[in-house]
Structure 1
Amino acid sequence: MTESRPTLGVGMVGYAFMGRVHSQAWRNVASVFDLPVRPAMAALSGRSPGATAEAADKLGWAAVETDWKRLVERDDVQIVDICTPGDSHAEIAIAALAAGKHVLCEKPLANTVAEAEAMAAAAKEAAARGVRSMVAFNYRRVPAVALARRFVEEGRLGEIRHVRAQYLQDWIVDPEFPLVWRLQKDKAGSGALGDIGAHIIDTAQFIVGRSLTGVSALTETFIKERPLAEGSSGLAAEGGAGEMGEVTVDDAALFIGRFDGGALASFEATRFATGRKNALRIEVNGSLGSLSFDFEAMNELWFHDHTIDSAEQGFRRILVTEPDHPYAGAWWPPGHGLGYEHTFVHEAKDFLEAIAAGTDPAPSFEDGLRVQRVLAAVEQSAAEGSRFTTVEDS
């Protein structure tokens, strides 16, 4: 008879896109990985009683709260999972940490550097009491990305010299696409920059193990007004059919940067790359080799070994599904690929294991703050006409 493992109750705030994938992770993580603790999906919080109850029933949550503060107060909740727009991250996370709850927070960590600083400070204070926190940069948990990090750590690429990072989507190319919350600065903080640019900033810094120290940037909003959508800050209720609202975030951001250690980098985040659906791409060039990754082929890592004879050089494909590849061995036989949703299962696994071990998980709120400072430097550089801007040091 196996020993019973302790249970940690999870309370999640928000149930839209991110809420669905996080729910899938909490439902499945204990069936895939042998964990020291088991998660229990205790309660789901949302503003609409009917919609929240329907989501809880569909996604597998045991109870419903219409006020996130009541969720934080529940005795059966030990982990608070924040899947809301960025404007509420700081308030919820700081309150949950103060209440002794472990916190998993979606990216970007906050909408401003000041909010992120307050969250990082609260996380540091909570860690001294054994309360853990993590920001949900799920692409770190792609097996191929984790393998790329391993290659860099092992010195397979030598001295890192160039990094190229892109995140290309096309989901708002249509000018009739409505003014959803992601296109409003007061809710989202920024547009493509914070939503998908934050991912490539974190992924690049994770792979090379270095931080960006300065940037020079351009941003653009291609479609300045869009049809009002139900729920767009209540504006749809005030106007009639055909009413338009201002887009207050960027549609695309381009910037160059420099890492500590001297490596050069270029970054591109856009929602206007027609034909590209979720193309997160990273290429790293070093003195001894290079690697390349594209999420639209997420089970593959391309590697060039520059130390072998020139007659045999060239990029070769590594199918990252072997038992000794990061995370992959817990799933299917070699060659049976994983998908987007599995990265969140890996995220839940790592978070639960860190809580059980009493160690600080990564990426930490401090890591999230570091990304937030890069985002702020990009916005400042773009506003000042592409002047090279130093990333604020912690």
Structure 2
Amino acid sequence: MTTTHAPTDALRVGMIGYGFMGAAHSHAWRTAHRFFDLPLTPQLHTLAGRTESTLAAAAERYGFASYTTRWQDVVEDPEIDVIDICTPGDTHYEIAMAALAAGKHVLCEKPLANSVEQSEEMTAAAAAARAQGARSLCGFSYRRTPALAYARQLVAEGAVGEIRQIRAQYLQDWLSDADAPMTWRLDKDKAGSGALGDIGAHIIDLAQWISGQDIASVSGTLETVVPTRPAAGDMQGLGGKGDTSGERQDVTVDDVALFTARFETGVLGSFEATRMAQGRKNAMRVEINGSAGSLAFDFERMNELEIYDATAPGGRQGFTRVLTTEPEHPYAAAWWPTGHGLGYEHTFTHQIADLVTAIGEGTDPSPSFEEALQVQRVLAAVEASAADGSSWTSTAPDAPSGTTSGTTTQSTTQEHTR
């Protein structure tokens, strides 16, 4: 005899957007309750997108019960409990504000919005919704990497002593080919920024989260290395190159972002975000140097954390490679036997597990919109510093900020383009 069990205490999910992030998020919603003991069971209710033909296929592939071409349908549906926003940055504000006003829980991909001003409004709306029981989370998924969560734990326990210096890099090469086609991520109006906000936001968040310190001021430079790209429709062969004899469109965001930061305690940090680093696929690196030791991490070796103990006796000093797959490490106990590594997709599953737990327990998940707003202020300060050539720009709420989350204005982009 076969018995079918309907999930109790279901958490019905409406997702908006079904590209790269939509695939990662839907996988996580399907998986989290199968490995973590959650107070609620996620159900993929409705998927929203613009193009019905591809949307229908995505809904079936991802496991959604229904789909719609109007995101408003998802927000207005009384059966849906949580809104998952996986769209380009220029749409985050409108969707999140509507979802919070409707009393929905909200998961919004990073960066929170395309301006500090919009992020402030979203944060205020999230605080008001929180008072009514609606929870909100910004999707900085790398926090859920076991090695990085363990690094934060070690810093909090004093393993590196007093923090003296922080360095972070996010190196990719997927735009290093000058004939790689135009995408929405290269359009300031849609993306809000280039390498700075797309991948730089991650290392800003991680550096602040791991260290427990906010960035207070920055000095930065932005560069657009390839000023034009083949139109997205001008593709040839399987190599993904655009037709260089056809139309080329202006790139209006940065390809490379470099900046120095001073944290609230006076600690200096250096940051680099680039999509021009040939041979680096997803080298997201963080290193913390302290009075008693150091921690170093590279996402291309995501199951490892390097730990240096400066208090060890002479002859025994050196970085120790720790494989963070033990049950003592954050999140690892829910998965495979010791030594069996995790992958990129697990960070999203951990994110959903934490969010669902917070919703079920009535607690506030992290990173909150307030934490995401702080990242947004850093991005704006880097942009402002790069635009006017100032040595240092404050991240304080009343400091001057740009109109986007990280890219230069058009005039500045042209000035720094080669």
Distance 1:311 1:291 in 2: 19
- What's the counterpart of residue 346 of structure 1? 350
Aligned 8 A contact 2:7 2:41 in 1: no
Contact 1:288 1:306 in 2 (8 A): yes
Q: How does 1:34-73 map to 2 (within 5 A)?
A: 34-73=37-76
**2:237 is the alignment partner of 1:226:** no
1:180 pairs with 2:183 = yes
| Partner amino acid, structure 1, of 2:259 | F
Whether 1:266 and 2:270 are equivalent positions in the alignment is: yes
Change (3 A) 1:243 1:294: same
CA contact (8 A) 1:138 1:343 kept: yes
Deviates more, 1:167-176 or 1:307-316: 307-316
Corresponding residue of 1:160: 163
- Partners of 1:9 and 1:230 lie apart in 2 by 36
CA distance in structure 1 between the partners assigned to 2:250 and 2:396 by the alignment: 30
Q: Deviations over 1:53-107 (max 9, x none)?
A: 1100011111001100011111221000000000000100010011010000000
Structure 1 residue 311 displacement after superposition: 1.7
Give yes or no for the alignment of 1:27 onto 2:48. no
SS at match of 2:174: coil
Give the 3-state SS of the residue equivalent to 1:88 in structure 2.
Answer: helix
**Partner deviation per Cα, 1:4-52 (whole Å, 9 max, x = no partner):** 6411100000000000000110111111111111100000000111111
Match of 2:362 in 1: 358
2:86 alignment partner in structure 1: 83
Structure 2 vs 1, CA of residues 386 and 253 (structure 1 numbering), >3 Å: closer, same or farther? farther
Please name the residue that 1:254 is paired with: 258
Amino acid at match of 2:102: A
Counterpart for residue 237 of structure 1: none
Q: Partner residue of 1:374?
A: 378
Gaps of 5+ in 1: 232-239
Partner residue of 2:332?
Answer: 328
Matches of 1:247 and 1:386 in 2, distance apart?
Answer: 24
- Counterparts of 1:297 and 1:382, CA distance in 2: 32
Structure 2 distance, partners of 1:178, 1:310, is 54
Letter paired with 1:292? A
Letter in 1 for 2:316: E
Matched with 1:193 is 196
Deviates more, 1:191-200 or 1:71-80: 71-80
Give the SS at the match of 1:80: strand
Shift of 1:387: 2.0
% identical aligned pairs: 59
1:148 matches 2:146: no
Output the amino acid matched with 2:157.
E
Instruction: Write the deviation string for residues 218-266 of structure 1: whole angstroms up to 9, x where unpaired.
Output: 11001101111149xxxxxxxx971111100000000001111121100
Q: Contact 2:46 / 2:66 at 8 angstroms: preserved in 1? A: yes
Q: Secondary structure at the match of 1:245?
A: strand
* Aligned residues: CA RMSD: 1.6
Letter paired with 1:59: Y
Cα distance in structure 1, aligned partners of 2:111 and 2:6: 39
TM-score, scaled to structure 2 = 0.90
Q: Which amino acid aligns with 1:287?
A: S
Shifted more, 305-314 versus 154-163: the winner is 305-314
Asked if the contact 2:38–2:353 (Cα under 8 Å) also holds between the matched residues in 1, the reply is yes
The CA distance in 2 between the partners of 1:310 and 1:266, in whole Å, is: 30
Mapped partners of 2:245, 2:130: distance in 1: 50
Does residue 169 (structure 1) correspond to residue 202 (structure 2)? The answer is no
Q: Report the 3-state secondary structure (helix = DSSP H, G, I; strand = E; otherwise coil) of the residue aligned with 2:252.
A: coil
- 1:91-124 per-residue CA deviation (whole Å, 9 max, x = no partner) reads 0001001101000000001110011001001000
Closer/same/farther in 2, CA of residues 3 and 87 from structure 1, 3 Å limit = closer
Preserved contact between residue 104 and residue 134 of structure 2 (Cα < 8 Å)? yes
C-alpha separation between the residues in 1 aligned to 2:228 and 2:39? 51
Amino acid aligned to 1:313:
Q
d(CA) in 2 for partners of 1:388, 1:188: 25
Quick one: which amino acid aligns to residue 315 of structure 2?
A
Could you say which residue in structure 1 is the equivalent of 2:130?
127
Equivalent position amino acid for 1:60 in 2 = G
Residue 303 of structure 2 is matched in structure 1 by 299
2:16, 2:87 within 8 Å by CA — same for their partners in 1? yes
Q: Which digits, 9 at most, give the CA deviation of each residue in 1:177-221, with x for residues without a partner?
A: 111100000000010000000000001111001100000001100
Q: Does 1:13 align with 2:16?
A: yes
For the Cα contact (< 8 Å) 1:218–1:386, is it kept in 2? no
Equivalent residue, structure 1, for 2:412 = none
1:107 is matched with 110
